[in-house]
Amino acid sequence: MRWYAAQRAALAIIQLAVLSVLVFVLTALLPGDAADMRFTETLTPDQVARMREQLGLDQPALERFTHWFGNVLTGDLGTSLISGGPVLDIVKASVGATLVLTLATLAVVVPLAVALGIVMGTRENGRLDRTITSVTLALSAIPDFVIAVFLVALFSLKLGWLPATWVGGSLLASPALLILPVAVLLGRTVCLLSRQVRAGTINALNAEYVVQARRLGVPRRRLLLRHVLPNAAVPGVQELARTGDTLLGGVLVVEAIFAIPGFATALVDGVETRDVPVVQGLTLVLAVAALVINLGADLVCNRLVPRTELLR
């Protein structure tokens, strides 16, 4: 176990280092730099040139990178080229909304998907199974921006029931702000997850050990909760960790449509304004999160079904 943890940690560190280089190279490949972004027909080229100098953007890329990397090792994510504030502040400011959004989504998705998956799995090919399958399949086939556009048109603009944007509202004052964004993010994730849970349930139900437990007189309810569920959850958990990335893509669309000042928006903004330290910082945080989530998923799976191999 300790060897495993060490291996995992070493791999993570290598991944993060390589990732930083990659992100730097990627952003360096973009045309223009942060100083150019300030060129909005109010600052003259001469002023822009002086700014570039002040921001240190006239230095060679390698030097900028090593400088940044050195700082990161001491825990300093640097300062934004655009706002001049610490990157950490930008990360902190943007992470909240996205976190709330994803947690709220997960809080709905996970129980819903598990429940649906188990219902479907225990009634394999029954009418209920087929109905739920069809509905979730259809839901997952609608791109999130299409869902969002129509939900907003219907529930906010036509009926006026729900707020269509986070602008001018506060989450504390009106939690209803969460409803539409979560509804948009829900569809695909629930479908993906519930299908995994369904497959896991069917597999577990057919497994020798469940059949045997039933033969030894374990009642049905207990069988489902204690014997089927943990095994059925494993593919679901793995899927959840895997969908993190796709979920983030959806989050961007949702953030854009509902004007949520979140992580994905900050990332794309950073790229658009060539704010390299911000992009670096956000990516780093994101990568750490992805690594932690994957590790967590592996550990959870290993907890649920100890035989799951840790290192593939």
Partner 1 sequence: GSDGGSGGGAAAQPKAGGRLRAVYAGGGAKEVLDPHVQSLFVDIARHKAIYEKLVELGPDLKPMPRLAEKWEPDAQAATWRFTLRDATFHDGQKLTSEDVLYSLARIADPTVPERVAQSSLAALDLKRCKAIDQKTVELVLTAPNAEFPALLAGIGTQIVRDGFKDPTKPIGTGAFKYVSFEAGRSMVANRFDDYWDGAAKLEELQILSADAEARANALQGGQAEYANDMTATFARTAEAGKTVKIVAAKGSTTHAFVMKVDQAPFDNPDVRMAFKLLADRRRLVDVVLAGRGVVGNDLFGKGFQYYPADLSQRERNLDEAKALLKKAGLLNKEVEIFTADASAGFVESATLFAEQVNEAGVKLKVTTGSAQTYAKDLLTKGVIGNHRSGAMPIPQYITDRLLTKSPFNVTHWRQPAFDAAFASAQVMTDEAARTAKYGELQKTLRDQGGIIAWGHPDYLVAVSAKVQGVQAAPPNTLDQGRFDKVWLA
Partner 2 sequence: MRALRARTPLAVSALLVLIPLLVALLGPLANFSPKPGLPYESAGLLGTDGLGRDVFSLLLEGGRTALGMALGAVVIAYLVGGMIGLVAASTRHRWVDEALIRPLDVLLPLPSLLVISVVAVGWRASPPAITLAVAMVNVPTVARLVRAAALDAASGPVVEALRMQRESWVGIHLGYVGRAVLGPVAADIGTRITLAVFLVASVNFLGLGLSPTAPDWAVSVSRNREGLLLQPWAVIAPALLLVSFTLGFNLLADRLVHRTRRLVEAKR
Partner 3 sequence: MTPLVKVTGLAAVAGDAILVDRVDFEVWPGQVTALVGASGSGKTTSALALLGEYGRGVQLRGRVEVDGQVVVDDNGPVNGVKVRGRVVAYMPQHPGSALNPARRIGAGLNELAKLHHPGEDVVPEALRIAQLPDDKATLRRFPHQFSGGQRQRIALAQALTCRPRVLVLDEPSTGLDSITRLQLVGELRDLAEQGLGILLLSHDLDLVRALARHVVVLSAGCVVDAGGVEVLPAAPELVASLGTTTAADPLLEATDLSAALHARGRDPILQKVDLAVPPGGCIGIVGRSGSGKTTLARCLAGLHERHTGRITLAGQDLPVLRKRTLEQNRRVQYVWQEVRGSFDERRLVDEQVARTAVRLRGISATEAKAEAVATLARLGVSALVAARPPSQLSGGELQRAALARALLARPDVLVCDEITTALDERGTGLVVELLNELKAEGTALVWISHDLGLVAAVSDHVLVLDAGRVVEEGPPATVMNDPSTELTRRLVRAAKVGQDPEPPQPPPVLTSSADTRSDPQR
* Size of residue set near partner 1 by CB under 8 A: 49
Please tell me whether residue 196 binds partner 3 under the rule CB under 8 A.
Answer: no
Q: 67 vs 303, which CB is nearer to partner 3?
A: 303
Which residues 199-258 are close enough to bind partner 3 by CB under 8 A? 207-219, 222, 226-227, 230-231
d(CA 131, CA 139) in angstroms, rounded, equals: 12
Q: How far is the CB of 213 from partner 3 (least distance, A)?
A: 7
Please tell me whether residue 259 binds partner 3 under the rule CB under 8 A.
Answer: no
50 binding partner (options partner 1, partner 2, partner 3, none; Cβ < 5 to 8 Å by kind)? partner 1
With H, G, I as helix, E, B as strand and everything else as coil, classify residue 161.
coil
Measure CA 95 to chain center.
11
Question: In which region does residue 76 sit, left (phi positive, over 0), alpha (psi from -120 to 50) or beta (all else)?
Answer: beta
Contact 266, 285 (CB under 8 A): no
Amino acid identity for residue 240 in this structure: L
DSSP state for residue 168 in the 8-state scheme:
T
* Size of residue set near partner 2 by CB under 8 A: 51
Q: Which of 88, 259, 288, 295 binds partner 1 (CB under 8 A)?
A: 259
Which residues 237-256 are close enough to bind partner 1 by CB under 8 A? 256
What φ, ψ does residue 109 adopt, rounded to 5°? -65, -50
Q: 117 vs 181, which CB is nearer to partner 3?
A: 117
Residue 304 burial (10 A CB sphere; 0-12, 13-18, 19+): middle
Tokens, residue 151: 């939900």
Q: Which of these ranges, 77-85, 174-182, 211-219, 251-259, lies near partner 2 under the rule CB under 8 A?
A: 251-259
Q: Which of 8, 38, 123, 214 binds partner 1 (CB under 8 A)?
A: 38
With H, G, I as helix, E, B as strand and everything else as coil, classify residue 239.
helix
259 binding partner (options partner 3, partner 1, partner 2, none; Cβ < 5 to 8 Å by kind)? partner 1
Tokens, residue 8: 């995992």
DSSP 32-56: S-HHHHT-SSSS-HHHHHHHHHHHT
Residue carrying the six token digits 């109905």: 131
Residue 173 burial (10 A CB sphere; 0-12, 13-18, 19+): exposed
With H, G, I as helix, E, B as strand and everything else as coil, classify residue 86.
strand
Please tell me whether residue 57 binds partner 1 under the rule CB under 8 A.
Answer: no
Q: How far is the CB of 14 from partner 3 (least distance, A)?
A: 24
Contact 254, 181 (CB under 8 A): yes
Interface contacts to partner 3, rule CB under 8 A: 207-219, 222, 226-227, 230-231, 304-307
Interface contacts to partner 2, rule CB under 8 A: 11, 14-15, 18-19, 22-23, 26-27, 29-31, 125, 130, 133-134, 137-138, 140-146, 149-150, 153, 157, 199, 206, 245-246, 248-250, 252-253, 256, 264, 267-268, 271-272, 279, 283, 286-287, 290-291, 294
Interface contacts to partner 1, rule CB under 8 A: 31-32, 36-48, 50-51, 54, 80, 82-83, 85, 90, 93, 152, 156-157, 160, 163-169, 256-259, 261, 265-266, 269-270, 272-275, 278
